[in-house]
Amino acid sequence: MRIAQICRSMNRPAGTERVVIETSQEIERRQIEVRIFTASTRDGLFKTSFSKISRENIRASKSPLFHLYADLLIAKRLIDEASSWADVVILHHGQAMASYAQRKHSLTCIPFFHTNHNLDWSLYGHLRSVAPVYTLPLRMMESNCLENIPVAFANSRDLMIQVREHAKGAKFVVIPLGVDLAKFHPSNEDDEFILMAGRYDPTNNFELAIEALRGTSYRLVIAGVEDSKHGRYAQELRKMVKTSPELRGRVEFVTVQEDELIAFLQRCSIFLSPRKYGYLGLASLEAMACGKPVIAFDPRRGIEECPPVLACDDDRLEWRTTISRLMEDKSHRTALGKKAFQFVKDNHTWPKSVDKMLRVVASLEASKPMFSS
């Protein structure tokens, strides 16, 4: 069996890209042929020996206004390229094209959803008023696709529920995010600073944590991943710090490689995750794997799996109080960090994630009709 993983680009060390590379490595360990198909790559993105990445030069609009529909074009072209090699396609971007792979190439194609914020109208800024009309064709395509393919993947039950809001007949399997515990593991260091990490994206809600640091003396490091679609958001965060004498000397923005990120995670005191989701993201899980306590956003419906984290709602004073309480009590940080590591070890490793993926793939392949010559 040959599995193609299709990802729009492999240029940023963010969550989706890490899922693609880590699951590909784990699939390859099972002696299964796997290859990544992408429209652009960056050498040395992750510290890995995995090299089976096929890059196809595809010209598409770089305008944020058209990126949703450019993703569909890129996905279609990459599916066409992969079809001459693959038996199964896992589609990480342009998920609405999964039914095209099935119809055009008779390929088993499983769309994998990592976020649903492309259809979150609150993120369109001055275009918010036209967002329902702008996203309508995509919503209709995605809904039709999901109702006509055997199954889709989602990285959490919370995300599955969100996607089902516009695709009632969709059939999902939840594939939990994993962490490579050989790389992300406790070091018992604590250098008395607070860390946030992730893509500069409004849904990550970094401004809430920055505001919570006002009135404290703590140092915050933000290991951000640049995103061309949300460049303005990154600028606003930097301006927020630069224009505040209180924050300017205590909040630092850094751009890091994977080994540097691991070092920050192993040395920080607390990891903050104010992202507006009902489940933990990969950055939080990696921090927990390093034995660090996490303060996470609670969307008032609880956090999926009831992880051993401290939950705060959209109140910067509550965040400030929780941060201060943890920073002042190292024994509490240590105890919570031990629980965090055990939670990841028990529930969020790549072998467990890939086991579940491959069971679904094997079931779909076994149910394919057999044709005799």
Domains and CATH numbers, the chain: 2-178+349-366 (3.40.50.2000), 194-347 (3.40.50.2000)
What is the C-alpha radius of gyration for the chain, rounded to an integer number of angstroms?
21
pTM: 0.89
Q: Quick one: pLDDT at residue 37?
A: 94
Q: Which amino acid is at 298?
A: D
Count of CB atoms situated within 10 Å of the CB of 363:
12
What φ, ψ does residue 307 adopt, rounded to 5°? -70, 160
* C-alpha–C-alpha distance, residues 82 and 79, integer Å: 5
Q: Could you identify the residue written with the tokens 């607070």?
A: 194
What φ, ψ does residue 90 adopt, rounded to 5°? -110, 120
Maximum Cα interatomic distance, the chain, rounded to a whole number of Å: 76
Spatial strand order of the sheet with 251-254 comes to: 251-254, 220-225, 194-199, 270-273, 294-297, 310-312
Per-residue pLDDT tens, the chain, 373 aa: give them. Answer: 999 999 988 887 778 999 999 999 999 999 999 999 998 887 777 777 777 888 876 665 455 556 667 889 999 999 999 999 999 999 999 999 999 999 999 999 999 999 865 555 454 455 555 666 667 777 888 889 998 999 999 999 999 998 888 888 889 999 999 999 999 999 989 999 999 999 898 889 999 999 999 989 999 999 998 876 777 889 999 999 999 999 998 999 999 888 999 999 999 999 999 998 899 999 999 999 999 999 999 988 889 999 999 999 999 999 999 999 999 999 999 999 999 999 999 999 999 999 999 999 999 998 877 654 3
* C-alpha–C-alpha distance, residues 71 and 16, integer Å: 14
* C-alpha–C-alpha distance, residues 313 and 212, integer Å: 12
